[in-house]
Structure 1
Amino acid sequence: MRRFLLFLLCALLGLLAVVLVNTLRLPNHQLAPVPAAPAVAVSPDSALAHLAGALRFATVSRTVYSETDTLPFGQLQAYLRRTFPLVHQQLKLQKVNRYGLLYEWTGTDPALKPLLLLAHQDVVPVLPGTDSQWTRPPFAGQQAGGYLYGRGALDDKLNVVGQLEAVEALLRANFRPRRTVLLAFGHDEETQGRRGAAALAAVLHPLHPQLELVLDEGGLVKADGVAGLTQPVALVGVSEKGYLSLELSATGAGGHSSMPPALTSVGRVAAAVARLEAQPFPARLDGGVSGLLAYLAPAVPFGKRLVFANQWLFGSLIKNSLAATPSGNAALRTTTAPTIFKGGDKDNVLPIVATATVNFRLLPGDSPQAVIQKVKELINDAEISVKTLGEGRAASPVSGTDNAAFLTLHRTIKSVFPQALVAPYVVVGATDARAYAALCPQATYRFMPVLMDQAAIESLHGTNERLRPAAYQQVVRFYAALIRNIQ
């Protein structure tokens, strides 16, 4: 017994030594302080007025394209031509599917691979009946209480106008890029981007089959930090989750509700959905969370740093902690979200057919085929039909954090947001960037240079979407700095 206890003590001491060594030897991925990005020769008031003007065009994209009012898109583009004359005089502009915009600022060294900046012109609709809840009308582009309000103030006209503002200022300063700079603005990102980003990428591919860096929206600078940190964290999306919607259906006998069978078609589908919700896909740190924690670990208190530095030992603890919130849970696993139920149209008649739509957002490493197979295993009911809706897609390629492109992006972020920690993560939503990933699989990133707290983040796609004027100045400064730095 004494020998066993001695062995156990030695094992524990050895384990403790390994944990401490891992913690003390943890690499610091954060850059040392870098010089501040130079100011951009743009009047803050005029720049904000340019953005406000763009918000006044209700460029709402609809799921059914024929239902989209395209007039505001033409009006917005005419406004951009008037507002940024040098851009439209000196850059090549190609229109794709009439409203997709591809600008090319030709560099002086054709041997260098281009930089591609992305944004989208379209916005989501305002929820019916919520207009009166807005502090300022959603398509008025008005200020109140230190904010600029409007649909698109965050998603995503600030990037369209911010990129053009930066290029216009650089042109005024007679700056000439060595590396070609491309701007691609789709017009249906909010509805899958088939006519916008997908078509633009197809046009771009034969012209520039390889790119140095692709940057789209997705991440942001979270003012109130993550993982318990109080300092800002610049979240850079290195991938985005895949997408799959399945329709589950069951067929019953129907009949009068006064004589129901033991299990109706509605009950069968409901039971299938309940089984899926009760057995979520496994939580995994290797789908993006591991890299995020590695970048943040040096900044957290020692106890938490010890946990982050030894994920092999404390993985379950990390997973349980993150899974307690919807956002943390979404970062850990392929998510299961029932979204639509259909069955019957009269309260006293049993429906013959009942269906449920379930949406899955796929973590890197999970394929649509594997998810479908797992769903069938979890449902375990031969009477349930499983049908794929639309085209399922896997997560986009995971871009690296050890290449020159990411280093340039990291350095540029720090030059504008010196207090922020930079960290990679996986975007849980969808962006236009996925359409261009084949042109730059190792360096396609998703980052919006805007400092936002949780309340502002929740206004995305919601009521009172808004932006602080000072935050917009940083947007313009960031894009000008990135164009200069990547040369």
Structure 2
Amino acid sequence: MKLVLRALVVLLGLLIIVLLVNTIRLTSHQLTNVPPATPIHVPDSAIQRLAGAIRIPTVSYTDYALTDTTQFDEFLTYIKASFPLVHQRLKQETFNQYGLLFEWEGRNPSLKPILLMGHYDVVPVIQGTQRMWKKPPFDGVIEDGYLYGRGTLDDKMSVIGLLESAEYLLQSGFQPERTLFLAFGHDEETAGFLGAQTIAAALKKRSVSLEYILDEGGIIKTDGVSGMQKPVALIGISEKGYLSLELTAVGKGGHSSMPPPQTSIGMVAEAISKLEKHPFHARLNGGVDHLLDYLASEVSFGQRIVFANQWLFAPLIEKTLAQTKSGNASIRTTTAPTIFRAGAKDNVLPIDATATINFRLLPGDTVEGVIERVKEIIENDSITVSVLGKGNNPAAVSDPETPAFLTIHKTIKSVFPDVAVAPYIMLGATDSKFYSALSTAIYRFSPLPLNDEGTQTIHGTNERIGVKDYQNMIRFYVALIKNSQS
């Protein structure tokens, strides 16, 4: 017995030594001593130009027939008048009339181009919620240091901010060594098939190979992540896949006074209950592992031991992250029942019942794998499982150790010196998914400080951007273009 206890003590001691060695050997990924970006004056007229863009309701609808294209025509006219040098000196192309591609040719053709992108379409304001806005969603009102309106965060601020940056650089006589593309979609909110997909296909046909791509995405989370209170700049290195399935059961119908043991509604409801009770397995290797690696040097010593030894503490980390909706979504493929259709009258048994379930796929999972697992979980051959629309696999994970990532990291630190930088997995989808054939270095970051409350306004009510935050966004894009020239 004493030998067993001694052996356990020795093993425990060895374990403690391994944990401490791994923790002590941990090196910080955070850049230090980064010189501040060259100061530039952003005039008050810049926020007025963004306000003007907000006043043009470029709302895109899934049913394209509902889209008011005259607003998109007005937007193109507006940016042409607002950014004359961009339109005079950069090559411009349109795709499906409203998708935009600008090319600023560099002096050194041996350097791969970079592509900075965004989209200028916006989601509708839900009918009846206009009264909940402090300022009308399409009036572009500036008050108390904020610009209010649909598109201030998603994503006209990126489009107009990039155009402001290019206009400023042109005015200052800047000429890039590396060719710069600016790509702006007009239907990102409805899948991006007419805009980004078409632009990407054209560049692929021309055999364009890009050094890196930067799209909208992660923000500067001012209230921290993973127990940190320090602001964290989150750079998306991948994004989750998308799949919607319809589960359909067919019964015999009839009078409700003589129901069968289980109706078609009951069968589908049981299937949904099984799916919710058996979520997809949690995994750190879907991207959270990179986030933890980058933040390990910024947390307390106790947390550092946990982050530096994921091989041992993965279950604890997963359990902790699963306690919040965003944390849970970052470690697994999620299951969300969103639509249920069945029945027409209270005393008539429905013949068929259909539920729509939306899945957001964690990198490492596939559309085919999700479908197979859904069928295994529901265990009912009487329920038909079919794909709704088009599903897509998660984006490939871009390396957070590339020179391109380093350039973005350096630029963030030069404009926002007090933040930590970390890669993460985007929970939503962006237009960048169409550009995978053009570069292996695709990143998603919007240089915008937001807390949890601020992020809730995206696609919600009172969407707004701080005037000073928008000015810093322009400074970031100017610095990024300059830092990307070698």
TM-score (norm 1): 0.99
Cα distance in 1, alignment partners of residues 143 and 32 from structure 2: 38
- Residues 396-426 of structure 1 deviation map (CA, whole Å, 9 limit, x = unaligned): 1110111111111110111111111110001
Could you tell me how far apart the structure 2 residues matched to 1:468 and 1:379 are? 48
Q: Aligned partners of 1:47, 1:238: CA distance in 2, in Å?
A: 30
Equivalent residue number for residue 16 of structure 1: 16
CA root-mean-square deviation? 0.8
Q: Deviations over 1:446-466 (max 9, x none)?
A: 000111111111100000000
- Give the distance between the partners of 1:41 and 1:86, measured in 2 at CA: 18
For residue 41 of structure 1, report the CA deviation from its aligned partner: 3.8
Confirm or deny that 1:183 pairs with 2:178: no
| Structure 1 position 207, deviation (Å) | 3.1
Partner of 2:437: helix, strand, or coil?
helix
SS in 2 for 1:39: coil
Counterparts of 1:163-202 in structure 2 under 5 Å? 163-202=162-201
Letter aligned with residue 23 of structure 1: T
What is the CA-CA distance between 1:231 and the residue it aligns to? Answer: 1.2
Once the two structures are TM-superposed, the CA of residue 485 in structure 1 deviates from its matched residue by: 0.3
Confirm or deny that 1:37 pairs with 2:43: no
In the TM superposition, what are the counterparts of 1:168-317 in structure 2 within 5 Å? 168-317=167-316
Task: Name 1:469's counterpart in structure 2.
Answer: 467
d(CA) in 2 for partners of 1:121, 1:263: 49
| 1:338-417 equivalences in 2 (<5 Å) | 338-417=337-416
Letter in 2 for 1:482: L
Give unmatched runs, 5+ long, in structure 2: none
CA distance in 2, matches of 1:57, 1:345: 41
- Deviation beyond 4 Å, 4+ runs, structure 1: none
Q: 1:208 to 1:469 in 2, by over 3 A?
A: farther
| Cα shift at 1:230 | 1.3
CA contact (8 A) 2:145 2:468 kept: no
Post-superposition offset of 1:208:
4.9
Residue in structure 1 matched with residue 3 of structure 2 by the alignment = 3
Inter-partner Cα distance in structure 2 for 1:201 and 1:255: 53
Deviations 1:107-129 (A, max 9, x none): 01111111100100100000110
User: Could you tell me which amino acid in structure 2 is paired with residue 27 of structure 1?
Assistant: T
Residue by residue over 1:295-351, the C-alpha shift from the partner in whole angstroms, topping out at 9 and shown as x without a partner, is 001110111111111111111110000001110000000000000000111111000
Q: In 2, are the aligned partners of 1:256 and 1:350 still within 8 Å (CA)?
A: yes
1:480 aligned onto 2:463: no
CA distance in 1 between counterparts of 2:238 and 2:59 reads 26
Q: Deviations over 1:267-321 (max 9, x none)?
A: 0000001000000000000001111011001110111111111111111110000
Give the superposition deviation at 1:145. Answer: 2.5
AA aligned opposite 1:56: R
Identical-residue share of aligned pairs (%): 56
Residue in 1 that maps onto 2:128: 129
1:40 Cα offset (Å): 2.6
Provide TM-score, normalisation by structure 2: 0.99
CA distance in 1 between partners of 2:9 and 2:115 (Å): 57
Structure 1 counterpart of 2:193, one-letter code: R
Structure 2 CA distance for aligned equivalents of residues 2 and 118 of structure 1:
67
Tell me if the contact between 1:114 and 1:208 (Cα under 8 Å) persists in the aligned partners. Answer: no
Q: Once the two structures are superposed, what CA deviation does each residue of 1:172-229 show, in whole Å capped at 9, x if it has no partner?
A: 0000000000000000000000001001111122335210110000101011111111
